[in-house]
Structure 1
Amino acid sequence: MVKVSLLYVSEKDEIAAKRTDNLDKSKAKPFEISELEGVAENLQRAVELHSLPESPDYYALQAHASQEYLVETEDLAKIQENELIILQMSPIIRVENFLSS
């Protein structure tokens, strides 16, 4: 099981979120992702649990351990420790590695 922090990233902050130090980590909501195939479902559950707003805003997942996640294209996105990915909630979960761009 991988422990991650969920950070709310508003649409206007999307570009700023390419740098981890620009994210407001006080808004982090820790939760766990237990299955490779369950990224979307687990994120949705965490959003509902914490009553966070949904699309068109973005969420950043900060992984606390290396793990591979299965994204909607069935390509594997390698998430290194403390690496950030941005997940768009709707209409389709999209995974992007902003740190490598």
Structure 2
Amino acid sequence: MKKLLFALLLAGLFGCTQEAQNQLGRSIQNWTGTNGVLEVYSGDTLVRRFVKIDKLSTAYGTSDSQARGYRFGYGVADENLDGLAGPNEKKVYFEVSEFSTYVFYEQP
């Protein structure tokens, strides 16, 4: 019975489109969390870094449900840009515009 259930699950997963698989992966990651880092650049210069981010979320309108031009999240503001959450660095809310140059990645 377990083998049959597992086989059906795999068949369903491989039968999904790439986008559906990506959405499933993001849903699992949203549930489990990520130790993410967001770096914001001005040209080729790093100007802001946020660490210990669970996820970035796309903002949606309340009345029209349309995606807004920014992403938001919560993370520790890495004031000294050393890549670590220091004892004096606080968890903050942040927003980044779709026009910003930023990189989001999982902390290695």
Q: Which structure has the greater CA radius of gyration?
A: 2
**Which protein is richer in strand relative to its size?**
2
- Return the structure number with greater relative CO, CA threshold 8 A, min gap 6: 1
With the length of structure 1 as denominator, give the TM-score of the two structures. 0.24
With the length of structure 2 as denominator, give the TM-score of the two structures. 0.23
